[in-house]
Amino acid sequence: MNKLIEKASEEHNLTRDELITLLREDALNEEIFAAADKVRQKYVGDGIHLRGLIEFSNFCRNNCCYCGLRRDNKNIERYRIDENTIFQLAKHASENMGLKTIVLQSGEDMFFDCDKLCSIIRKIKTLGVALTLSIGEKSLTEYQAYKTAGADRFLLRIETTDKQLYLDNDPGMNWENRVECIKNLGIAGLEIGTGILVGLPKQKTESYADDILFFKNVHADMIGIGPFIPHPDTPLKNAKGGDLKTALKVMALTRLLLPDINIPATTAMETLAPNGQIRALRAGANVIMPNITLTEYRKHYELYPGKSTTGYTPDESLKDVKEKISALGRFVATDFGFHLHKI
């Protein structure tokens, strides 16, 4: 085995330069994927955790250049799902679909203030599920309130650790503040989910190495890595976009360095290639997030075009995911899938 891959597999540490060497060398890709698959099996096993995703509002106060939900995009119909419908979707997911985690995701929508969110969190927690939020930058006090109401985890991608690239793509936002928010999630006692986009214009190989070291540094519990897919109603509509191979490589190296965390095979990976998620599950991923939003809303939650599950109902999304899992010879995990801290 290549010496660096061997070191990463055994010590779960690489220097920035070593990461860059592996990121640059495409002849080693299959070896990196196989090593990440082995480390995944050793630390988190063959069970795949399913997280039911509810996209409950597509209003957003931000204007990220890559995202179809950006506030300047007037070509989308904005919606909010009401509290009771959100609860009914979560109930169906828990009682009829057997899902153990519900993820509530939205743009940064100020309509759902802390009281409204805490009320939804308390209601969903009566179902006996784990609850993840993915609703953007909030204060430490708010993160603490969500935790007290029963939330378990929170997803907030750093998007990129290249500060200039972040500022170029997320106008009006502040990179240091985002890092502070990610750290505050941990202070509030929530599991920390973060991650990046791969393939933004001018994103460098060196910065992927920094991203992976950042994940270690903030003690991330979950890492989501998605190729950037240009959206026609955004300033980046003519950009080239990310490729699956690079996204898989950054993901596999993340598995080697953070061996016991949860890593989803992301929907963006599937959107780039019909077997994208299967390839991810063979290269370090152990989580899938089936979309359980009602079909009528899905087409309006277009972060990027061509999202693979847009036309599906919640039950069809689950069926699709379960078929992929059996094709791989793996199984759906029956526990909540918290980060087990094995190292």
> Which residue type is seen at 56?
F
Using CA atoms, how far apart are residues 250 and 211, in angstroms rounded to an integer?
Answer: 9
Per CB under 6 A, the list member of 304, 309, 312, 321 interacting with ligand 5AD is: 304
Using CA atoms, how far apart are residues 63 and 66, in angstroms rounded to an integer?
Answer: 9
DSSP calls for 199-223? --TT--HHHHHHHHHHHHHTT-SEE
Contacts of 18 (CB under 8 A, 6+ apart): 4, 7, 8
Question: Strand, coil or helix: what is 310?
Answer: coil
For the bound state, the minimum distance from the C-beta of residue 316 to ligand 5AD, rounded and expressed in Å, comes to: 22
- Per-residue x/- track, 96-135, ligand SF4 (CB under 6 A): -----------xx---------------------------
Per CB under 6 A, the list member of 252, 268, 278, 281 interacting with ligand 5AD is: 268
289 binds ligand 5AD (CB under 6 A): no
Using CA atoms, how far apart are residues 235 and 123, in angstroms rounded to an integer?
Answer: 39
Q: Exposed e or buried b for every residue in 259-275, given b needs 16+ CB within 10 A?
A: bbbbbbbbbbbbbbbee
Nearer to ligand 5AD, 67 or 287 (CB): 67
226 binds ligand 5AD (CB under 6 A): yes
70 binds ligand SF4 (CB under 6 A): yes
Per CB under 6 A, the list member of 4, 14, 54, 64 interacting with ligand SF4 is: 64
Using CA atoms, how far apart are residues 172 and 188, in angstroms rounded to an integer?
Answer: 26
With CB under 5 to 8 Å by kind, the binding choice for 228 among ligand SF4, ligand 5AD, none is ligand 5AD
For the bound state, the minimum distance from the C-beta of residue 249 to ligand 5AD, rounded and expressed in Å, comes to: 17
Nearer to ligand 5AD, 135 or 188 (CB): 135
Torsion over CA: 139, 289, 205, 25 (sign)? positive
- Per-residue x/- track, 147-186, ligand 5AD (CB under 6 A): ----------x-x---------------------------
Contact 289, 51 (CB under 8 A): yes
With CB under 5 to 8 Å by kind, the binding choice for 56 among ligand 5AD, ligand SF4, none is none
Binding segment for ligand 5AD (CB under 6 A), chosen from 146-154, 228-236, 254-262, 327-335, is 228-236
Using CA atoms, how far apart are residues 263 and 223, in angstroms rounded to an integer?
Answer: 5
Rg, the chain, Cα only:
19
For the bound state, the minimum distance from the C-beta of residue 234 to ligand SF4, rounded and expressed in Å, comes to: 9
Chain centroid to CA 14: how far? Answer: 23
What is the binding site for ligand SF4 (CB under 6 A)?
60, 62, 64, 67, 69-70, 107-108, 136
What is the binding site for ligand 5AD (CB under 6 A)?
66-67, 157, 159, 197, 226, 228-229, 231, 268, 303-304
